[in-house]
Structure 1
């Protein structure tokens, strides 16, 4: 990958690129882009940035009277697109126009700040998100005026209601079935081959997930904070474009189907010092080879879990996933292997320092990864600095505990709605302040309040079924 303006220009010339797609991420987490002629992608323009962005038209960015913004390419991300070889995409950093410096509400800037804060404390963090998603054959959305109502219909070849050729996947029985029951293996392989051959990914696994109707998962090799967030945005981008080639509709919506598992993004996290030591590993710990620092990290995340929810589970739909019975976390607790807890300590191997990490199970794919990974880092640092004790691990199915027993064990619940999570974020955000500036926090909360308020005004189709005759 290019690292200097000269190498970038040479890459464009060598690969006969005609167009450069400048990409960036808005505050909610959606990838945005503007395309320029390759002839304008010169060394001088790369150094000066590309004044091509009207920030007032981007969610969470800026107002109409201060809208001129400049995009600076992240040259290491420059790559020609396999589905459109005359086009090269490049991720960018967002700056204010007029030489006023970095735009403080650029999500990537927050992630860069997080890495800088971690480095100043002597740490490097690593992230390994497990991205789940659905591949539907068709989604028909009927959106009329609010007064006329809304509706949708999902068509999926594997689903019991649309089974193709007799092969179906029953509800909650989609984990690892071999083809031809798994009818989307070839599509997932096309996705991972595109990622490895063209985008430099190292893929660790690709498989069908628990739900019917085309739920899958792709896991790539862990990396540092900003790089992992960049890769996650790239992964979503590639999934969407490869799926489009097959006429499929991908979605990263946390809960598109009733009665089956939702879509999560379990995120593995570890913290290392400058000497290359895993700060979370202690071979003398009998429970999970977890160090005291590792326990403080867990303590910090658990202590702030309810406010973190507003960032890592950031949509109204997220809270339809976070319910008992579908392998999604509901309770604020930790354990070694217990998937009903919001944090577990994977223990596949013994005596392996590089493998020691935690798995934070609350995030879902609707999150902005730059913000999510930064918030996790902030909570972990707060746990270390304040030596927050996570309490005892809970090695039982928390779903089966009585409310009285959960209270006795001090097990709290995650928020049950986006509004509740935003309430928590408004009252518990000091731990984020070293990384998140007040401007981005205020704007983010305002955006999400408006999103929640708007959705609450629409009657849900199932409400007609339940309440039409009241």
Structure 2
């Protein structure tokens, strides 16, 4: 059997161990541009061949980027054995995260995991280890209740005004589902520390402890697959769509980036001093430079952290009812200021980036955010003054892109883009996203005709 590398027979023992535990198939999963799991599954006895790289794919188009090409070069999935996880909801399958490699013996230019690993290596060479905590929000609904106006009523509690956020009874109404999710999370390596209702009707958030950046990206990719599968067991559906309905809150996925020294001390580079003593801990100069890099490249970053046309219907100053949106629109930072793109929280040594939404590919977003922060440190970029009031009302502060088209144009114009992504990736990604914007923008709908047909 043709493989990219030599077959290591020692994996035969692992294959037998899995088979004895009831595993029948192994999936060397790779993430497409949307962060969705892609792969074939193979009989567990082929684990040695799979580890050597024999699972081949033609990923363009299917990957969500570029056009499908029936004569394109194949790429090979090389799985990471350290990520092997027997799926709790169906233990016939074991899952592994994989890198995509070309037959030239180099990472595939469109492989999100390889793109992230390159930036992690860059950080390590500069003496840093990056961690990530994510706060993914999602909506839960019964498929039969879905209609043009919303998801229908999921809970017996009903509507809570002005918002069901933090409402205990709402969470208890779906406790069976949430408990199943949390229990399954623990079995795939994610430990929850909070769960509850969010601002939209049917919207929930589960918070879990941070991990090293690559491990978190792997786990969140599996988490998204897991939540959908667990929901189906309860006759429910889940969506991470950023803005499913105009009258509902958007779903964000705040990225909490930590930075630690790799010199052996393992101490945070972002916060200095003793957090147990009031007033004895402060943000470091590196943290401010890191923020400066994020702000400098903010407009380009949104093309990756907010990758859909729909993403920009969340990044608005107000909701349709006129209330203030909690999604940031301004390129600013502040202490505990949730109206800014970046918040410096008081309770953890991490920089919270608030504009990413739940549709973002964590590998790609993590890579670009880390690169921007490192650029800030390397060039000592001053982030400017902190903003302590409502940022959206400060006209002099630059704002994030209003549309995916604006974001893509900024992405193509930023020099950092060409340090993080290959020319092939940039060309195909920009072209694909521009087509997505045109597909949304060009059609003329009934509401538009109703507004203009007779009047003009």
Q: TM-score, with normalisation over the residues of structure 1? A: 0.86
Do structure 1's residue 367 and structure 2's residue 360 form an aligned pair?
yes
Q: Is the 8 A contact 2:343 2:353 kept in 1?
A: yes
The total of aligned residue pairs comes to: 433
Moved more, 223-232 or 8-17: 8-17
Do structure 1's residue 128 and structure 2's residue 133 form an aligned pair?
yes
Q: TM-score, with normalisation over the residues of structure 2? A: 0.88
Residue in 2 aligned with 1:178? Answer: 168
Task: Note the C-alpha offset of 1:274.
Answer: 1.4
| Aligned-residue RMSD, C-alpha | 2.4
- Candidates 253, 256, 261, aligned match of 1:265: 253
Residue in 2 aligned with 1:221? Answer: 209
The aligned runs of 1:44-443 (5 Å cut-off) are 45-56=49-60, 57-60=62-65, 63-96=69-102, 98-138=103-143, 152=148, 154-158=150-154, 165=156, 167-170=157-160, 172-179=162-169, 182-196=172-186, 198-212=187-201, 214-275=202-263, 276-283=266-273, 289-324=282-317, 325-348=324-347, 355-401=348-394, 403=395, 407=396, 411-428=397-414, 430-443=415-428
Distance 2:392 2:368 in 1: 27
Distance 1:302 1:74 in 2: 34
Q: Is the 8 A contact 1:288 1:345 kept in 2?
A: no
Task: Note the C-alpha offset of 1:136.
Answer: 1.5
Q: Write out per-residue CA displacement over residues 67-87 of structure 1, whole angstroms, 9 at most, x where no aligned residue.
A: 422112221222222332222
How has the CA–CA distance of structure 1 residues 288 and 459 changed in structure 2, closer, same or farther, with 3 Å as cutoff? Answer: farther
Structure 2: state its 5+ residue gaps.
1-9, 318-323
Distance 2:329 2:398 in 1: 9
How has the CA–CA distance of structure 1 residues 465 and 154 changed in structure 2, closer, same or farther, with 3 Å as cutoff? Answer: farther
Distance 1:173 1:209 in 2: 8
Q: Is the 8 A contact 1:82 1:194 kept in 2?
A: yes
Task: Note the C-alpha offset of 1:297.
Answer: 0.6
Structure 1: state its 5+ residue gaps.
142-150, 159-163, 349-354
How has the CA–CA distance of structure 1 residues 95 and 418 changed in structure 2, closer, same or farther, with 3 Å as cutoff? Answer: same
